[in-house]
Amino acid sequence: MIATTGKLTTLAHANKYWWKASFNEGQGRIFLDDRGFDSSVKGYVLGVVVPIKVNNEIIGIMKSNVNIMGPLTDIIHNFAQRHSGKIKIVRTGGLIVAERSVAPLSTRVDDALVEILRKKENGSAIIVENNENQLVAYSPVRITMGTEQFAFGGSQESIDHIKGNIGDAWHVVISHSQSEIIEVAHKLTLVITFVGIIFTLLTASVALLLGKWAAKPIVELANAAQLIGKGDLETRVAVHSNDEIGALAKSLNLMAENLQNTMTSRDKLLYEIEQRQKVEEKLRHLSTIDELTDVYNRRAFNEKLYTSIGRAKRHNEPLSILLIDIDHFKVINDSHGHDVGDLVIKDLACVANESIRQEDMLARWGGEEFAILLPQTGKDSALLFAERLRQKISMHDFQQVDQITVSIGLAEFQADDTPDSFVKHADVALYQAKDGGRNIVKS
């Protein structure tokens, strides 16, 4: 992996950006030089610059260039062989460092994702790619964001490299179609962990500083990922640091929590939706339907009356209303009891409901009174209908009382009518039918 050249790191290089970054004004720190394509090794190169100290004083700078495309390509290839999603190593500015079948630094990610990556945070988002929702998980490689011990960056171009990094961090980006994410979620956790392990081990082996403190959290991540993959969604990883391992641990915990919430709340949500629909249907029924007769109540009739009057005015259509009252209903209650009276009211509602058209509306107006709204029906047609209904009721066998009669008041809507005056005309006609001997229709 490490190729040496005849070039020496001497004071002649003290003006180079990587020398200055590692020297760090005499403080010294490891500098990871994202050089892009290096012509001296004909590959994508990560330079590792380490200050050499004696008695806490810098006596020299050691630099080596690492061709990292081999390991990164293996990661991308292995992921593609085992998973349906995609994995990329991306700079903050959007240039893709590594992706399957794509030359390094030749393509960019979508601008919407770039805006998210600029925050340099780990998390997930839904973006549209090729007209399909993609669930994207992303996490910055913490060591590339710079610390007191490590610096990361480079120069865009020099005599032996192009497309170098001028301040961007690296991010691991994994995308899956939304429809597949539940199926592959446990596999993605293993891949994210594996990427973190590979990159951490790579930098540790070159800098000879990362191995000891990285080993334990990596093992914990791997074990947790295996348990989550087997279905133990209550597994969580303790977060001990704020580096890339800590970020991956947080992402793993967040993914496990989201999966657990999704799986445990799905049945509860479906049950709540079903119960809410039942309650809404019951409330709608109670607010518009008469409990005894199961026909519309007065409130629902009034709403229909207002809309029907508006339609009649707009289209210059006829509109009629019938008010129906059971004759001598008090005698029925007094002679047979209120239970029988209720049965008579229910039977009358059934007879009337069977007699109206689909566009007509029957409602219990109150007590033993009913109202029928007849859209697109003039006075003459309404009189014929009312007479047929009166005769049908008078010939019907009602439970325990044999026959009953009804009086009917009829009114046709006039241009200057209001809803109240329209109903009032029918009410006056009903009283005329009562005064005229009952069992008749008046208009």
Identity of residue 427:
D
CATH of the domain at 204: 3.30.450.20
Kindly state whether residues 130 and 260 are assigned to the same domain. Answer: yes
The answer to whether residues 63 and 49 touch, using CB atoms and an 8 Å cutoff, is: yes
Q: Extract the tokens encoding 159.
A: 């005599």
- Considering only CA atoms, which of 236, 433, 435 is closest in space to residue 443? 433
Kindly state whether residues 122 and 208 are assigned to the same domain. Answer: yes
For 345, the domain range is 298-442
Residue 180 within a domain = yes
The answer to whether residues 393 and 344 touch, using CB atoms and an 8 Å cutoff, is: no
Cα gap 204→207, rounded to integer Å: 5
Kindly state whether residues 211 and 334 are assigned to the same domain. Answer: no
Kindly state whether residues 96 and 172 are assigned to the same domain. Answer: yes
Residue 11 within a domain = no
- Considering only CA atoms, which of 347, 346, 356, 351 is closest in space to residue 290? 346
Kindly state whether residues 237 and 384 are assigned to the same domain. Answer: no
Q: Is the dihedral of CA 45, 216, 246, 100 positive or negative?
A: positive
> Do you know the residue count of the chain?
443
Cα gap 185→128, rounded to integer Å: 19
Q: What pLDDT does 3 receive? A: 42
Kindly state whether residues 235 and 139 are assigned to the same domain. Answer: yes
Domain boundary residue among 246, 265, 284?
265
Residue 219 within a domain = yes
Cα gap 163→309, rounded to integer Å: 75
Cα gap 293→43, rounded to integer Å: 86
Residue 16 within a domain = no
CA gyration radius, the chain: 42
Residue 27 within a domain = no
CATH of the domain at 378: 3.30.70.270
Kindly state whether residues 231 and 133 are assigned to the same domain. Answer: yes
Kindly state whether residues 225 and 370 are assigned to the same domain. Answer: no
Kindly state whether residues 257 and 332 are assigned to the same domain. Answer: no
- What is the torsion angle, in degrees rounded to the nearest 10, for the CA atoms of residue 86, residue 254, residue 252 and residue 67? 50
- How far, CA to CA in Å, does 167 sit from each of 144, 245, 387? 9, 22, 92
Spell out the per-residue pLDDT of the chain, length 443, in tens.
334 455 555 556 677 777 787 888 888 889 787 877 777 666 777 878 898 888 888 888 887 777 777 788 888 878 877 777 788 898 888 888 888 878 788 888 888 888 888 888 889 888 877 777 878 888 998 888 777 788 887 776 666 667 777 778 888 888 877 766 666 556 666 666 666 667 666 665 655 544 455 557 777 777 888 888 888 888 888 877 777 777 887 888 888 888 778 777 676 767 887 888 887 877 777 789 999 999 999 999 999 999 999 999 999 999 999 999 999 999 999 999 999 999 999 999 999 999 999 999 999 999 999 999 999 999 999 999 999 999 999 999 998 888 999 999 999 999 999 999 999 999 999 999 999 999 999 99
Residue 3 within a domain = no
Kindly state whether residues 245 and 141 are assigned to the same domain. Answer: yes
Total domains present in the chain: 2
Residue 276 within a domain = no
Helix axes of 211-229 and 244-288: crossing angle, nearest 10 degrees: 30
Q: What pLDDT does 347 receive? A: 95
The answer to whether residues 372 and 441 touch, using CB atoms and an 8 Å cutoff, is: no
Residue 279 within a domain = no
Kindly state whether residues 251 and 302 are assigned to the same domain. Answer: no
Kindly state whether residues 212 and 308 are assigned to the same domain. Answer: no
